[in-house]
Amino acid sequence: MKMLKMEVDVLPSSTRKDALKQKREEKQVEQLEKERKFIEEQEHSIEESIQSVTEQHRQKVALLERQLLEQQQQLKKAREGSLWELEENHLKSLHQMLRRQLKDRLILQRHQILLKHEKEAEQILRHNQHQAEKMQQHHAVEKKRLHKAVKMESKLRTQAFKKASRLGEVKVSTDEFEEQEKKRVKDDIEAGEKRLRQEWNRLMAENRLREKDLEQAQEQKMKILVEHEKTKTKELDSKCELEMKDWRHLLLIKKKAMEDEFASQKSNLESFYTRTVFGAESSYQSSTI
Q: What is the DSSP string of 139-163?
A: HHHHHHHHHHHHHHHHHHHHHHHHH
As a whole number of angstroms, the distance between CA 26 and CA 37 comes to 16
As a whole number of angstroms, the distance between CA 165 and CA 58 comes to 155
As a whole number of angstroms, the distance between CA 280 and CA 62 comes to 15
Q: Which residue has the higher pLDDT, 15 or 62?
A: 62
Q: Which residue has the higher pLDDT, 78 or 171?
A: 78
Quick check: 177 and 90 in contact, CB under 8 A? no
pLDDT at 6 exceeding the cut of 90: no
As a whole number of angstroms, the distance between CA 219 and CA 86 comes to 45
Cα 23 from chain centroid (whole Å): 103
pLDDT at 4 exceeding the cut of 60: no
As a whole number of angstroms, the distance between CA 27 and CA 1 comes to 10
Angle, CA of 42, 43 and 46, to the nearest 5°:
85
**List of residues 6+ apart from 139 with CB closer than 8 A:** 196, 199, 200
- Kindly report the pTM of this predicted structure: 0.58
Q: Report the mean per-residue pLDDT for the chain.
A: 85
Looking at mean pLDDT, say which of 23-27, 144-148, 185-189, 244-248 comes out highest: 244-248
- Residues comprising the chain, all counted: 289
**3 state SS of 170:** coil
Q: Average of pLDDT values for 135-160? A: 90
pLDDT at 8 exceeding the cut of 70: no
pLDDT at 170 exceeding the cut of 90: no
227: buried, middle or exposed (CB in 10 Å: 19+, 13-18, 0-12)?
A: exposed
Q: Average of pLDDT values for 100-108? A: 92
Q: Average of pLDDT values for 119-146? A: 93
